[in-house]
Amino acid sequence: MTGEARKAPFRPLARLKRIGGARASWSGLAAQAVLLAVLAWLAYEMVANVRANLAAQGIASGFGFLTHSAGFAVSQALIPYEQTDSYLRVFAVGLVNTLVVSAIGIVLATILGFVVGLGRLSPNWLLARLAGGYVELIRNLPLLYQILFWYLAVLGALPGPRQSLSPLPGVFLSNRGIVVPEPVPQASFAIVAAALALGIVIALGLGFYARRTLFRQGRVVRVWPYALAAVIGLPLAIALLFGAPLTFDVPELRGFNFAGGVRLLPEFAALTIALSTYTAAFIAENVRSGVLAVSRGQWEAGESLGLSRGQLLRLIVVPQALRVTLPPLANQYLNLTKNSSLAVAIGYPDLFSVFAGTALSQTGQAIEIIAITMAVYLAISLVTTTIMNVFNWRVARRGQA
């Protein structure tokens, strides 16, 4: 119809639906507002109840207690600590101990897990069965049991310092821990360390060049002698020119204990070994599943190029398997870090033991200490997850390129 606005057809059903939808949205908003109000009221009541209970017990809320003197000793402190130091210093000591045992455990568990995972797929019958037996045994035993086993049955059964075992010169094993020589940096340490870093960069560049030549030209370039010369030869030449970068303080038995060197507590050794071997069993299964996810055609293609089994795994299979292995690998790293809190069972002074244990029992500041501990574990988990997600993104992007 020219010159006249066409009227929209009358649709009562659509209009009813619009009205009903508007009413439903308003009722949904009202329900959410009521729920929010109820939650706010419950939170207020909980906070008021906690403050009343603390006031009745004479406990002041807040974080001022962190500046008070702790007054207790810590068996292992990787940073300077005295009994007169504050609870904030105790927190730092426990945090450093937790980070150190977690970092060492992650490195050892990753190496052992990859070795065992690839061992399960080995054509060698005995090696495959040994790796499978390790995985089935370790995964099905509780972690706390394994920590106690290493602490009581293995390290606790070692002889005393006078009858200590010495598997290597300067290394002593006893029921008081593991004593090793302490490295003492010299004047040339910084120069040799810089030369070592430069050698590692050169070796990585040579490796990148060899892989690029192989994939683009199909030509195998032998670079390992030059990489070895860069990593070992360059720092060695600098050390010969400027002097030894390190000397070692070798421990000696004096009386009933050792003097000098570095002593690793039995608690630290037991916790590190148990966390590493336990987590490695799960990482091994992740690695095995990732390798099996690579199609058989990739194996056959590598074999047709004349690659050895080691080259085939290193250049073709493992890089593709990482896309399947990395996501669950991040979960295992998080589990290892959180499982380190079981150190309280053997007295290792980690964050949970010295701060959420001893400090909490002395101060009574349960809410503040538990909140700090939760925040720390949450921050560690988020940082670990972020690092693994970035690495996973780079691997996935490289696979798509």
- 235 DSSP β-pair partners: none
Q: What is the pLDDT of residue 263?
A: 84
Is residue 49 pLDDT above 90, yes or no?
A: no
pLDDT > 70 fraction of the chain, expressed in percent and rounded: 91
Please name each of the domains of the chain with its CATH number. 87-157+265-400 (1.10.3720.10)
pLDDT confidence tier of residue 198, bands split at 50, 70 and 90 = very high
Is residue 213 pLDDT above 60, yes or no?
A: yes
User: Residues 277-302: pLDDT tens digits?
Assistant: 999 999 999 999 888 888 888 877 77
Is residue 92 pLDDT above 70, yes or no?
A: yes
Structure tokens, 138: 């370790």
User: Span 208-222, mean pLDDT?
Assistant: 79
User: Span 210-229, mean pLDDT?
Assistant: 81
pLDDT > 90 fraction of the chain, expressed in percent and rounded: 28
User: Span 254-265, mean pLDDT?
Assistant: 81
Residue 20 buriedness (CB in 10 A; 0-12 / 13-18 / 19+):
exposed
User: Span 96-123, mean pLDDT?
Assistant: 93
User: Span 325-345, mean pLDDT?
Assistant: 90
Is residue 106 pLDDT above 80, yes or no?
A: yes
Residue 345 buriedness (CB in 10 A; 0-12 / 13-18 / 19+):
middle
Residue 295 buriedness (CB in 10 A; 0-12 / 13-18 / 19+):
exposed
pLDDT confidence tier of residue 212, bands split at 50, 70 and 90 = confident
Is residue 7 pLDDT above 70, yes or no?
A: no
- Considering only CA atoms, which of 281, 191, 271 is closest in space to residue 238? 191
Q: What is the pLDDT of residue 305?
A: 75
User: Residues 125-161: pLDDT tens digits?
Assistant: 999 999 999 999 999 999 999 999 999 998 888 888 8
Classify the C-alpha dihedral 85-90-91-97 as positive or negative.
Answer: positive
Is residue 396 pLDDT above 70, yes or no?
A: yes
Is residue 401 pLDDT above 70, yes or no?
A: no
User: Residues 344-371: pLDDT tens digits?
Assistant: 889 888 888 888 888 888 887 888 888 8
Average pLDDT, the chain: 84
Is residue 248 pLDDT above 60, yes or no?
A: yes
Q: Which of 11-25, 51-65, 180-194, 253-267 has the highest mean pLDDT?
A: 180-194
User: Residues 262-282: pLDDT tens digits?
Assistant: 888 889 999 999 999 999 999
How many residues appear in the chain? 401
Q: How far is it, in rounded angstroms, from Cα 331 to Cα 321? A: 17
Is residue 27 pLDDT above 80, yes or no?
A: no
Name the 3-class secondary structure at 157.
coil
Residue 355 buriedness (CB in 10 A; 0-12 / 13-18 / 19+):
buried
351 membership: H or E segment, kind and range = helix 351-353
Q: What is the pLDDT of residue 61?
A: 67
